[in-house]
Structure 1
Amino acid sequence: MSRFRRTKKQVREILSASDWRDRLDELEACRPGDLVAPLLNLRLDKAEEVRWRSVTAFGLTADRLARASMEKARVLMRTLMWYMNEESGNLGWGIPHFMAEAMVRNDRVAKEFHKILSSYIFCDEKCDGNFLDHPELRRDVYWGLARLAGARPELVAPSERFLIAGLDDEDAHNRAYAAWTLGLIKARAAKPGLEALRDDGNEIRTFRDGEIVDLTVGDLAREALERMG
């Protein structure tokens, strides 16, 4: 069995376990560079919980890599950016999740790459953005911004007006994640848009605090308003 297959099997076993959080320390037995490819593969796993938990594991791995060699961490982040490029021929699903989690876990990575993540929702000609036309791929970016805002709101706050625009997105996940993020950065200018979503009953399934949860757009809009007082 190849090293990749052996490592992937080991990582998947950990992420599938009910005590997966407690077992994440087992990944430290592997070199961080050896974990990257298996985790990238597991982001597309058939099991929903494995897909989401691979995000947490990747963030820890990226942090280990950055603490050992910031240059290697930069190469890793640029690789993720390449996955988001149509010319790469790769699938970008889940990649923004990984980008965000790496930035949550490591301050230097966050400072150097947060503007890249935000640029995927920039939607006007005044900004040099990389706006994603595909609404389902934007979901991953909005979730990533919510995750980053929970840890480093000051890095997400400059994207406030694009997040406010996201409240009108046709995709329920995008509206919900935009609302979630705006609450975390306490964007008071978003209050009218959030008020309009109070009774939005469209349901989403997502990952928060290490758990898969079912919520509505309205739930997250009301939560955001409560955060603002």
Structure 2
Amino acid sequence: MARMRFAKQKLRHALQSPQWQEHLDDIAQRGLENVGPLFSCLLLGPLTMHRAAVALGRTTALLATRQPEAARNIIRRLMWHLNEDSGNTGWGIPEAFGEILAASEPLAKEYHRVLASYIIDLGRDDNYCDNTLLRRSAYWAIGRLARARPELCMAARPWLRKGLEDEDLICRGMAAWALAQLPPDLMDAPGLRRLAEAGHEETCELFDGENLYEKSVSQLALEALEHTGS
């Protein structure tokens, strides 16, 4: 227990340092030793959570080349945390899922459909995330993967478009941002235009790989609309 606590404190200090990215290779090289503490760091404040997700992505990607089944077990752990029967809050879990798939091509090919399934609402027998806060994160995670591996997220595009009309306004903004990470498609334009013109000033919190920043729902829709060339 004391060793785990020390490892968590060491990781927290590294991730909260202005030079946090310089620690990522060392964190990843320690492999499974750091996985538990990194999961714990996902429960910290938003910026540290995102940085921990990046570190977990780097660590799991390296494990996938050395211990593929151990890397798959980490993905399964994420999936369990997102299962409503698990009793977990899931804070930071979609972000970690997105970062892992962005960092590892083999894992991305194997699990990208699972990540997309959290925004697919079939009405029954689906994996749709009913928790509004986690669904916001799921849209972000799909956008994160789309930025790194757009070809794996093309099938999610219709559901991202549907997300522009999500009952939660922040989810709408996150869906717009995610669409902007894909190659331009004029079919996105009608929904984005409606959202851009609605004047929603509610803000979405996003992570650019270094810092957190905020933009309004309609601003994100406008930028995504401009991305389509419309």
Once superposed, what is the RMSD of the aligned Cα atoms?
A: 1.7
Query: Does 2:221 align with 1:224?
Result: no
> Over residues 54-74 of structure 1, what are the superposed CA-to-partner deviations in whole Å (9 max), with x where a residue is unaligned?
111111111111111111111
Partner of 1:83: 81
Amino acid at match of 1:52: H
Cα deviation 1:159-195 (Å, max 9, x = unaligned): 1121111101132321111101112223422211101
- Count of aligned positions: 226
The yes-or-no answer on 1:184 pairing with 2:181 is: yes
1:128 CA displacement: 5.7
Distance 1:28 1:149 in 2: 23
2:101 and 2:108 in contact (8 A); partners too: yes
Q: CA shift at 1:91, angstroms?
A: 2.1
The SS at the match of 1:149 is helix
| Counterpart in the other structure of 2:27 | 27
Runs of 4+ in 1 over 3 A off after TM superposition: none
What runs of 5+ residues in structure 1 fail to find an aligned partner?
none
| Match among 124, 145, 153 for residue 156 of structure 1 | 153
Contact 1:172–1:204 (Cα < 8 Å) also in 2: no
**Conservation of the 8 A alpha-carbon contact between 2:174 and 2:204:** no
Which blocks of at least 5 consecutive residues in structure 2 are unaligned?
Answer: none
Aligned with residue 94 of structure 1, among 92, 95, 115: 92
* Structure 2 match to 1:204: 204
Q: 1:28: how far off?
A: 4.3
Partner of 1:41: 40
Q: 1:87 offset after TM fit, Å?
A: 2.0
Q: Between the two proteins, what is the percent identity of the paired residues?
A: 38
Q: Equivalents in 1 of 2:96, 2:152: separation in Å? A: 17
Q: Which residue of 1 aligns with 2:191?
A: 193
Deviations 1:128-161 (A, max 9, x none): 6301112111011111001001011111110112
Q: Return the alpha-carbon distance in structure 1 between the equivalents of residues 12 and 31 of structure 2.
A: 15
TM-score w.r.t. the length of structure 1 is: 0.92
Residue matched to 2:2: 2
For 2:210, the aligned partner's letter is: G
Displacement, 1:26? 3.3
Structure 2 residue aligned with 1:11: 11
Q: Cα 1:118–1:5, aligned 2, differ >3 Å: closer, same or farther? A: same
In structure 1, what is the equivalent of residue 138 of structure 2?
141
Corresponding letter in the other structure for 1:18: P
| Contact residue 8 and residue 38 of structure 1 kept, 8 A | yes
